[in-house]
Amino acid sequence: MKLFKTIQSYLSLVKFSHSIFALPFALIGFVVALHHSSAPSLQWDKLVFIIICMITARNAAMAFNRWVDRFIDSKNQRTKNREIPSGIISPKAVLAFIVINSIAFIISAWFINLLCFYLAPIALFIVLGYSYTKRFSWWCHVFLGLGLSLAPVGAYLAVTSSFDLLPLMYGIAVVSWVAGFDVLYALQDIEFDQKEKLYSIPSRFGIQKSLWISIWFHIICAAAILTCSYLLHNEFGLNYFMGAGTISFLILLFYQHYIISENNLNRINLAFFTTNGIASIILAGFTILDFYI
């Protein structure tokens, strides 16, 4: 029972369920890479290590964010009950967790290929570095998106050891997608961030302008996703399933802006997790399905 509670606490620490945001894009990058390679058969060993890399990098990043923000979180009414401020997990234990996951990430990258291994420290620097960005720049939302955008690009590199336009376009889509919904999420802490002199788009520009900035981020995302769909159609002949996934993603992308307004911020969590999580699953599921039907 104690072990179960400990595991549950660490899963809560890193918000493990939020892994659903980037993982579907990694799977798209993986499948696209398979069909760009000379041997399109499913490479289970690389898929396993890609998933391990995804999980361990995200675990390290989220735990590091909680460790860096532990004093800030203790002052914020919304976050004061998180695992470190509430004493459920000690800061030293979290640091050990970060180190273990970082090492596991680098080792897993080595098993994939040398290019991924050489790039692994850079990837770690990006995903860990995000935690400090809100101390000096309201571009922190874009930096968070940059960290998650490594998913489709990294998965593609794992198979091909080379860069290509299509995974890079998916990377751009992820950057703007994440930045857009992270701006909405940051609306919850606008007063606290202003009081503590923390940088975010809401604390800098206010609610109304932030809502519009989020929309523009998602317009960029929509353009990138449509470009990806065009490239997939031209290169692989994908049609109806991929198209259905794309349309569904775009509808859900902008649906969150319909349910959130300046006078109604109560549905932020619904927009942040449920809507975006479902959108990424549908996009990846239907796109991958089109490759094999």
**Tens-place pLDDT, residues 156-211:** 999 999 999 999 999 999 999 999 999 999 999 999 999 999 999 999 999 999 99
- Structure token digits, residue 10: 């660490």
pLDDT of residue 293: 84
Of the pLDDT bands very low, low, confident and very high (cuts 50, 70, 90), residue 3 is confident
Maximum pairwise Cα distance, the chain: 56
pLDDT of residue 270: 73
Of the pLDDT bands very low, low, confident and very high (cuts 50, 70, 90), residue 17 is confident
**Tens-place pLDDT, residues 115-156:** 999 999 999 999 999 999 999 999 999 999 999 999 999 999
Of 79 and 19, the one with more pLDDT: 79
**If you compute the radius of gyration of the chain from its CA atoms, what whole number of angstroms results?**
19
Please state, for a pLDDT cut of 70, what percent of the chain lies above it: 99
pLDDT of residue 276: 92
Q: Are 268 and 185 in contact (CB under 8 A)?
A: yes
Rounded to whole angstroms, the Cα distance separating 187 from 291 reads 39
pLDDT of residue 40: 61
Q: If residue 266 lies in a helix (H) or strand (E), which one and from where to where?
A: none
pLDDT of residue 70: 96
Q: Are 257 and 177 in contact (CB under 8 A)?
A: no
Q: What is the DSSP string of 137-206?
A: -TTHHHHHHHHHHHHHHHHHHHHHSS--HHHHHHHHHHHHHHHHHHHHHHGGGHHHHHHHT---HHHHHH
pLDDT of residue 263: 80
Give mean pLDDT, residues 68-82: 95
Q: Is pTM, for the whole model, over 0.85?
A: yes
pLDDT of residue 21: 86
pLDDT of residue 165: 96
pLDDT of residue 133: 96
Q: 1 pLDDT exceeds 80?
A: no
User: ∠ at Cα 67 (65, 68), nearest 5°?
Assistant: 65
Q: What is the dihedral of CA 244, 249, 251, 253, to 10 degrees?
A: -170
pLDDT of residue 4: 84
Count of C-beta atoms within a 10 Å radius of residue 141:
31
Q: 38 pLDDT exceeds 70?
A: no
Q: Which domains does the chain have, with CATH numbers?
A: 41-129 (1.10.357.140), 134-293 (1.20.120.1780)
pLDDT of residue 19: 79
**Chain mean pLDDT for the chain:** 94
Of 83 and 17, the one with more pLDDT: 83
Burial state string for 231-251 with b = 16 or more CB within 10 A and e = fewer than 16: bbeeebebeebbbbbbebbbe
Rounded to whole angstroms, the Cα distance separating 151 from 227 reads 18
